[in-house]
Amino acid sequence: DRLGLYDGVDLAPVARVSESAVSDAAVIRDGPRMGTALPLGGAALMAGATGWHMGYPAGSPAVIETRLIGEAVARRGLGPAARGEPVLAWAEVQRLGYGNGPLGGISGGPVLDGAGEVVGVVSASTDRRGRILSTAPDAIAALLRQRVQIATRADRRDLSNGTAAQTAFRQWLAGGIIRQVYCD
């Protein structure tokens, strides 16, 4: 059942979402099934590692190159209900295919390392400081193990430079592997 078009985008309702209890990540459970998925990273990341953040800041597709600052704890919520969650902090290096506008809207997009493996999901950004926070890799792996069936084949790519990252992003968009999602 389609919801119609919004700014030229065909909207489809999503009924089942599995949210992580320990990180700012969720899995859309009833979305289209893909035979190919992005591979999950397993190696520990070192400070200074390159990250490629892919998504839709301000509704425009973009790739953001960053360098890993290190592990941190993000505080979610207010008062007694507030909780800390492990995150990775990244420093922005350059934006490819997107100007200097706000990064709001890139949340939920994958963070990939130079080997093309998912090492996080974007959870927050601060334009003023040029920082992007992502979920810790182990939080994503735990959520996926518990909630969904992993695709049969991983689309592994070399993302050692901006041109390769932009090319892969365009192909993943065209193949529906990375999608824009609106939350109400």
DSSP the chain: ---EEETTEEE-----EEEPSSSS-EEETTS---SEEPPBP-SPP-TT-EEEEEE-GGGS-EEEEEEEEEEEEEEESSGGG-EEEEEEEEEEEEEES--SS--TT-TT-EEE-TTS-EEEEEEEEETTTTEEEEE-HHHHHHHHHHH-PPPSEE-----SSHHHHHHHHHHHHHTTSS------
pLDDT number for residue 155: 73
Q: pLDDT tens digit string along 62-92?
A: 899 999 999 888 777 777 777 778 889 999 9
Count other Cβ atoms within 10 Å, centred on residue 70.
Answer: 12
Mean pLDDT comparison of 28-32, 33-37, 143-147, 150-154, highest-scoring range: 33-37
Pick 37 or 96 by higher pLDDT. Answer: 96
The three-point CA angle 72-90-157 to 5° equals: 120
Give pTM, 2 decimals.
0.72
pLDDT at 3 > cutoff 50: no
Q: What is the mean predicted confidence (pLDDT) over 20-38?
A: 59
Q: Which residue has the tokens 């992005």?
A: 38
pLDDT number for residue 7: 47
Q: What is the mean predicted confidence (pLDDT) over 42-48?
A: 86
Pick 5 or 123 by higher pLDDT. Answer: 123
Pick 76 or 14 by higher pLDDT. Answer: 76
Could you give the percent of the chain with pLDDT greater than 70?
A: 68
Q: pLDDT tens digit string along 103-146?
A: 888 888 889 999 888 888 888 887 777 889 998 777 766 655 55
**What's the chain's average pLDDT?**
76
Three-class DSSP labels, 5-44: EECCEEECCCCCEEECCCCCCEEECCCCCCCEECCECCCC
pLDDT number for residue 47: 94
Q: Which residue has the tokens 């309702």?
A: 13
